[in-house]
């Protein structure tokens, strides 16, 4: 492309073609796997179907012959799958962390595959590396990845820290407690970075409670700022989880690799002011606000390392172009390219539009500059992983603030008019008290399930009532004391999501306080409701904040929490649908329950991804755990969703799963998929098969494709190198 003037920057095209990203040699890095691997049932089938009328040996031989003729260097970025065969299993290992995985997986001509499958015993199991070949004709389903289409940025995955989870956790040995923390928040586990916390009690509490039981205490004189009730179990669990997330972030930043550098900031700011160490002759090093130096790692990705200046990897040659822009050439000899999603990578052999940056002096110091990419974003440092993001949600105000005089259930209206401002100040006081415990909230819901009046803690609010309460009481009170906290409206099942969001954003005063909307899954898929809100209000963060299987969804003969493969499939089905509709994250309900599905002080028991037998001191990891891991473990915060589409061969696939009121993946429609470009440039794609049969399909990205196969009742994650 021809050079563009500064005025033309806004009209720059998309990323350089994918083929330019595939420079380097093949490697043999291995995926981390879960510690649990269940054996295969006797007589389970391991035969894999490929294309229609094809078998595995013929396809494999064709691929090998084709690669020999074409050469591996002809392949461009794509996603592929490999059929599950018992003879191709590899040993399971522990995780090296995101940064370690990136360094060891430097292969440019292979794709990594992780699989969980019901009938072959795989649980987050690493499969053999896959080769990419030029696109080919295929008589069957086709999944396409379109990395030129970029949508929402992911915030993360997590679960709810309920008192039930904390009390159950407290009854376990120290060894089992550490296992839970590692399996959820550790580098070898699911790498959760989000959580939800109830303000006052909820149904998954031992009993109803609040932090001010003094009737008529409008000034909150008796508010318990020490949070003595939550200090018994909930706060200790939160603190240990927070520490584990921080340890994981540090582990993933081994060798000083703790920050990424990206060109996606709309303003220079402190993080965009780069210090310049000039060696003469155009050779420089760039120091960020954290004190580290911008460095090109082994794959060319620009990161920030706390390294010595003597390390040549942090030196660049700055070239001034004829149009006044500058370009950076790394020690590898390749120029730094700015991709449209903000990723910076030393990969280009020559200077084109994407290798040009507009230089601006930053501050009064002569040795400070800012660099703006062709896509309009300033170069700035970004954490690879955030800390623990906590969403606070109230179920009920203290009984004396409510028209029904009790925390359970709700009158209409819920709040007594004279205590609306008091309730807003109560919430702020709770946030401040938690912050004093070292637990800062990231976000706040106005109310849990404002449309629901159940037999546990509740406070119903109509769309107009919620908007008014936010506008005149909660919004001003929160922003006065905690201006950085994001406020989410709704936090209820998807059926009325558009109405609540519309009314809040049309409210002349409430709209300024709305940063997001949260939703649950109990009224069914309704992905169109989420998508409609995302399309109408793209600036609003949409968060799937609760999902679980209530006892009414269990098999009739089950009275205790049990392992049901359908539940894992239902979770994945919902996650894929929500993410493709625009969700920025997904939160499970209780992180941990006992084998009864509680404790729950009103008997509203549910299943959980991890269930503990406290008497026997044993943990049971249910299918939900492994299915969630295919997303949370390999799609980190900061990843951006890319386009996917599926051309299915059959109109209906055989299945034994009946449709349910929520959380049901029948498999009749065939394969489901979503894909994200990670902050390190890798693409992670997830494919789900809930049908009773293996499905052979082609997975295609740009001009490359792979003959792929997924077992019945299985989920797979693919990782493509940048």
State the catalytic residues. 449, 546
What CA–CA distance (Å, rounded) separates 691 from 94?
31
For 441-489, give the DSSP string.
-SEEES-S-TT---SSB-----HHHHHHHIIIIIHHHHHHH-TT-EEEE
What CA–CA distance (Å, rounded) separates 362 from 378?
11
Backbone phi, psi, residue 571, to 5°? -60, -50
Q: What's the Cα-to-Cα distance from 517 to each of 594, 681, 683, rounded to whole Å?
A: 31, 29, 27
Q: Are 585 and 194 in contact (CB under 8 A)?
A: yes
For 404-436, give the DSSP string.
TSSSBB--SSSB-GGGHHHHHHHHHHHHHHHHH
The residues, ordered by sequence, that sit 6+ positions from 356 with a Cβ below 8 Å of its Cβ are 3, 321, 323, 325, 326, 327, 374
Helix (H, G, I), strand (E, B) or coil at 685: strand
- The residue with tokens 């693919």 is 718
- The residue with tokens 């065939």 is 670
What CA–CA distance (Å, rounded) separates 550 from 552?
5
Q: Are 545 and 447 in contact (CB under 8 A)?
A: no
Q: How many CA atoms lie within 13 A of 478 on its CB side?
A: 29
Instruction: Give 2: exposed, middle or buried? Use CB within 10 Å, 0-12, 13-18, 19+.
Output: exposed
Q: Across-strand partners of 698?
A: 142, 707
End-to-end CA distance of the chain: 22
What CA–CA distance (Å, rounded) separates 57 from 87?
14
The region that residue 512 occupies, defined by phi over 0 for left and psi between -120 and 50 for alpha, beta otherwise, is alpha
Helix (H, G, I), strand (E, B) or coil at 343: strand
Torsion of CA 394, 398, 400, 403, to 10 degrees: 30
Backbone phi, psi, residue 629, to 5°? -60, -30
What CA–CA distance (Å, rounded) separates 535 from 538?
6
The residues, ordered by sequence, that sit 6+ positions from 8 with a Cβ below 8 Å of its Cβ are none
Q: Across-strand partners of 268?
A: none
What CA–CA distance (Å, rounded) separates 201 from 172?
22
Structure token pair of residue 363: 């501050």
CA-closest candidate to residue 172, choices 621, 596, 611: 611
Backbone phi, psi, residue 185, to 5°? -110, -10
Cα-based angle 477, 479, 483 (whole degrees, multiple of 5): 150
Backbone phi, psi, residue 64, to 5°? -65, -45
Neighbours of 70 (CB within 10 A): 12
Q: How many CA atoms lie within 13 A of 488 on its CB side?
A: 30
Structure token pair of residue 25: 């040699």
Q: Can the peptide bond before residue 191 be classed as cis, meaning omega within 30 degrees of 0?
A: no
Q: Are 289 and 270 in contact (CB under 8 A)?
A: yes
What CA–CA distance (Å, rounded) separates 666 from 566?
9
């Amino acid at each position: 492309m021809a050079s563009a003037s500064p005025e033309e920057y806004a009209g720059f095209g998309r990323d350089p073609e994918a083929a330019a990203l595939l420079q380097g040699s093949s490697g043999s890095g291995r995926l981390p796997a879960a510690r649990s691997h269940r054996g295969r049932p006797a007589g389970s089938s391991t035969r894999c179907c490929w294309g229609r009328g094809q078998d595995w040996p013929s396809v494999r031989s064709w691929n090998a012959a084709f690669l020999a003729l074409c050469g591996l260097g002809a392949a461009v970025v794509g996603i592929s799958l490999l059929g599950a065969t018992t003879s191709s299993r590899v040993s399971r290992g522990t995780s090296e962390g995101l940064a370690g995985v990136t360094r060891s997986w430097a292969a440019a001509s292979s794709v990594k595959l992780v699989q969980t499958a019901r009938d072959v015993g795989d649980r987050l199991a690493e499969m053999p590396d896959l080769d990419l070949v030029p696109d080919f004709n295929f008589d069957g389903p086709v999944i396409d990845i379109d990395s030129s289409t970029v949508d929402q940025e992911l915030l993360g995955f997590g679960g709810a820290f309920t008192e039930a989870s904390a009390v159950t956790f407290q009854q376990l040995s120290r060894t089992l407690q550490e296992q839970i923390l590692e399996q959820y928040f550790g580098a070898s586990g699911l790498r959760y970075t989000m959580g939800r916390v109830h303000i006052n009690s909820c149904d998954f509490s031992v009993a109803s409670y609040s932090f001010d039981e003094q009737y008529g205490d409008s000034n909150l004189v008796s508010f318990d700022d020490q949070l003595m009730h939550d200090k018994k179990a909930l706060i200790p669990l939160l603190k240990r989880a927070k520490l584990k997330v921080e340890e994981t972030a540090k582990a993933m930043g081994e060798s000083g690799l703790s920050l990424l550098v990206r060109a996606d900031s709309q303003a220079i700011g402190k993080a965009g002011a780069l210090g310049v160490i000039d060696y003469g002759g155009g050779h420089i090093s760039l120091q960020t606000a954290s004190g580290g130096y911008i460095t090109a790692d082994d794959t060319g990705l620009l990161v920030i390392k706390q390294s010595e200046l003597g390390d040549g990897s942090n030196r660049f040659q700055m070239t001034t172009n004829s149009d006044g822009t500058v370009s950076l050439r790394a020690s590898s000899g390749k120029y730094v390219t700015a991709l449209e999603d903000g990723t910076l990578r030393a990969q280009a052999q020559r200077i084109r539009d994407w290798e040009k940056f507009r230089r601006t002096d930053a501050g009064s110091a002569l040795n400070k500059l800012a660099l703006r990419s062709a896509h309009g974003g300033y170069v700035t440092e970004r954490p690879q992983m955030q800390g623990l993001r906590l969403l606070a949600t109230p179920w009920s105000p203290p009984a004396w603030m409510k028209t029904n005089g009790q925390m359970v259930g709700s009158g209409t209206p819920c709040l007594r008019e004279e205590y609306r401002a008091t309730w807003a100040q109560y919430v702020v006081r709770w946030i401040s008290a938690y912050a004093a415990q070292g637990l800062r909230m990231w976000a706040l819901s106005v109310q849990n399930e404002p449309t629901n009046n159940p037999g546990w803690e509740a406070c119903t609010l109509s769309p107009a009532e919620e908007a008014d309460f936010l506008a005149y009481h909660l919004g001003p009170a929160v922003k006065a004391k905690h201006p950085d906290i994001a406020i989410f409206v709704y936090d209820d099942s998807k059926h009325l999501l558009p109405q609540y969001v519309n009314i809040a954003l049309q409210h002349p005063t409430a709209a300024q306080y709305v940063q997001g909307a949260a939703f649950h899954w109990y009224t069914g898929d309704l992905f169109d409701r989420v998508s409609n809100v995302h399309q109408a209000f793209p600036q609003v963060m949409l968060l799937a904040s609760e999902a679980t299987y209530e006892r009414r969804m269990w098999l009739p003969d089950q009275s205790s929490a049990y392992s049901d493969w359908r539940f894992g499939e239902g979770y994945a089905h919902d996650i894929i649908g929500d993410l493709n509709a625009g969700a920025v994250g997904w939160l499970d309900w209780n992180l941990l329950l006992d084998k009864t599905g509680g404790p729950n002080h009103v008997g509203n028991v549910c299943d959980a991804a991890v269930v503990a037998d406290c008497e026997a001191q044993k943990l049971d990891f249910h299918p939900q755990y492994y299915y969630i891991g295919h997303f949370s473990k390999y799609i980190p915060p900061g990843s951006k969703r890319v386009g996917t589409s599926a051309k299915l061969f059959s109109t209906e696939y055989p299945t034994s799963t009946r449709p349910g009121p929520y959380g049901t993946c029948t498999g009749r429609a065939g394969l489901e998929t979503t894909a994200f470009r990670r902050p390190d440039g890798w693409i992670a794609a997830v494919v789900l098969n809930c049908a009773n049969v293996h499905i052979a399909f082609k997975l295609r990205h740009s001009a490359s494709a792979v003959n792929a196969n997924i077992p019945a009742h299985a989920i797979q994650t693919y990782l493509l190198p940048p």
